[in-house]
Amino acid sequence: MERAVFLDRDGVINRVLIRDGRPYPPASLDKLEILPGVADALRDLNSAGLRLIVATNQPDVAKGFQRRDMVEAFHDHLRRTLPIDDIRVCYHVDADGCQCRKPRPGMLLEAARAWEVDLTRSYMIGDRWRDIDAGRAAGCKTIWVRCDYDERLPEQPDAVVVSLWEASRLILANGQPLAASRSQ
C-alpha cells in the first residue's frame, strides 16, 4: 500500500485572497500565486515516495462566482508546474449534502481506493477546520497550516505549522512523532 499526502489547495499550495477575515481562491489564472517553498516541499515529498493528492472544495462554481473551466485551468497549471499525482475537486455547497465536500472524507476515500493508499500511514494538510476534520474522518494524520482566518479553528490536529514547507519537514523527519512537533 502507498503512503500519500493529501493537500488542500487554496491557502496551502497557493495564496488566498482575504476579505473580512475569510479566505477566497484567486479569481483568474493570472492571480494564481504558488506560495514560497511549495515546489521544493512537494518535490521532496515526492522524492520520498509519497503520493501527492490535492483535495479541494470549490463551492464558488455552484454559487456562480467562478467558472468550472477556470478551476480546471488552475489545476492544469498546477499539474504542469508541481509534482502532483492527482487532483480531486468537490464543486458542491454544504446544502447539496454530498459525500465529497470536506469535512466529509469522500475525496480522500475515493483517491485512496484509486491509488491503493494506506490512509493510516498518510497525511492531510490543510488551512481550515474542514480539511482537518476530513483527514481525521479518513484516518489520516492531520497537519493544520495556521493562517489566522476569522473562522472556526480545527479541533486537535496532529501538528500545527505555518507553511507547507514546515509540514513537509515534519513528514520527512524519520521517527519524529507529529504530536511532539506542535508549534501552536
Q: Which residues are catalytic?
A: 8, 10
Give the Cα separation of 125 and 117 in Å (integer).
Answer: 16
First vs last C-alpha separation in the chain: 32
| Nearest residue to 104 (alpha-carbon basis) of 146, 55, 144 | 55
Give the Cα separation of 158 and 164 in Å (integer).
Answer: 15
| Nearest residue to 77 (alpha-carbon basis) of 39, 126, 108, 23 | 39
Q: Sign (positive/negative) of CA torsion 21, 18, 36, 108? A: positive
The grid cell for 64 is 456562480
Compute CA distances 12 → 64, 102, 114, 166, whole Å: 24, 15, 23, 11
Give the Cα separation of 167 and 178 in Å (integer).
Answer: 10
